[in-house]
């Protein structure tokens, strides 16, 4: 069952690439006391994710923050090293926080996994976006398989 608007996010641990190596990020602490625009991609460096999804949030970061978003974060079922490299390649370093969900624990805990085995990618997180306010889901936009519409930065901005 998928998480819904009004639900509190489950406690999990993300991993973030830092200059000191991979660091655990407690989800409760990360979302506590602030408004976070969180989006999920099926995979770093994949075509739609690299050409449209991440760039949209990088380009619209200041607009989202002007609408009351404290932080923008991206999660994917990729390791922290891949997420760190993708952040650098995509120019996201100071605009989007990359949260590795390498084992898919967060995606599974919120009920938003997908089977990408036919593409050699195994279980991944679905493409979605959400607004999380102090750990509670205020807005949730889950894409239909293969689509890229409701999880975009522009769509989120229209609803803030």
By DSSP bridging, strand 13-18 and strand 21-26 are antiparallel
- Whole-prediction pTM value? 0.92
| Domain count across the chain | 1
Q: Exactly one of 3, 49, 77, 132 is catalytic; name it.
A: 49
Tokens of 131: 């607004």
Domain-embedded: residue 2:
no
Give the pLDDT of the chain (160 residues) as one tens digit per residue: 689 999 999 999 999 999 899 999 999 999 999 999 999 998 888 777 677 789 999 999 999 999 999 999 999 999 999 999 999 988 898 899 999 999 999 999 999 987 767 776 767 788 899 999 999 999 999 998 888 889 999 999 999 9
Residue 71 in domain: yes
Residue 78 is assigned to a structural domain of this protein: yes
Residue at 49 is within a domain = yes
Residue 49 appears among annotated catalytic residues: yes
Which tokens in the block code for residue 148?
């890229």
Range of the domain at 146: 13-159
Is residue 58 assigned to a domain?
yes
Give a yes or no: residue 6 inside a domain: no
CATH number for the domain spanning 30: value is 3.40.30.10
Q: Is residue 5 part of a domain?
A: no
Please state, in angstroms and rounded to a whole number, the distance separating the CA atoms of residues 89 and 125. 21
Is residue 126 in some structural domain?
A: yes
């Amino acid at each position: 069952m998928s998480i819904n608007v009004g639900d509190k996010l489950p406690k999990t641990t993300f991993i973030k690439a830092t200059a000191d190596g991979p660091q655990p990020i407690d989800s409760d602490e990360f979302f506590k006391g602030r408004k976070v625009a969180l989006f999920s991609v099926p995979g770093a460096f994949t075509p739609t994710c690299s050409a449209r999804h991440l760039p949209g949030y990088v380009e619209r970061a200041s607009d989202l923050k002007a609408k009351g978003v404290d932080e923008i974060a991206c999660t994917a079922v990729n390791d922290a090293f891949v997420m760190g490299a993708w952040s650098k390649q995509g120019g996201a370093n100071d605009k989007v926080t990359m949260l590795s969900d390498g084992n898919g624990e967060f995606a599974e805990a919120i009920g938003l996994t997908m089977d990408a085995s036919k593409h050699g990618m195994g279980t991944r997180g679905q493409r979605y976006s959400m607004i999380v306010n102090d750990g509670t889901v205020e807005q949730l936009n889950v894409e239909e398989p293969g689509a890229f519409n409701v999880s975009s930065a522009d769509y989120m901005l229209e609803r803030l």
